[in-house]
Amino acid sequence: MPTDTTKRTQTDKVLDYMRRNGSITQFDALLELGCMRLASRINDLRNRGLEIATKMIDVATRSGTVAKIACYKLEYPN
Question: What is the pLDDT at residue 6?
Answer: 65
Question: What angle is formed at CA 40 by the lines to CA 77 and CA 24, rounded to 5 degrees?
Answer: 40
Give the per-residue pLDDT at 7.
81
- State how far the Cα of 46 lies from the Cα of 53, in Å rounded to an integer: 10
pLDDT of residue 1: 45
Q: Where are the domains of the chain?
A: 10-74
| Contact of 52 with 39, CB cutoff 8 Å | no
Pairing status of strand 52-60 against strand 66-74: antiparallel
Task: Walk along the chain (78 residues) in steps of 10 and give the mean pLDDT of each run.
Answer: 68 96 96 96 97 96 95 84
| 69 Rama class: left (phi>0) / alpha (psi -120 to 50) / beta | beta
Q: What is the pLDDT of residue 35?
A: 96
CATH architecture of structural domain 10-74: Orthogonal Bundle (1.10)
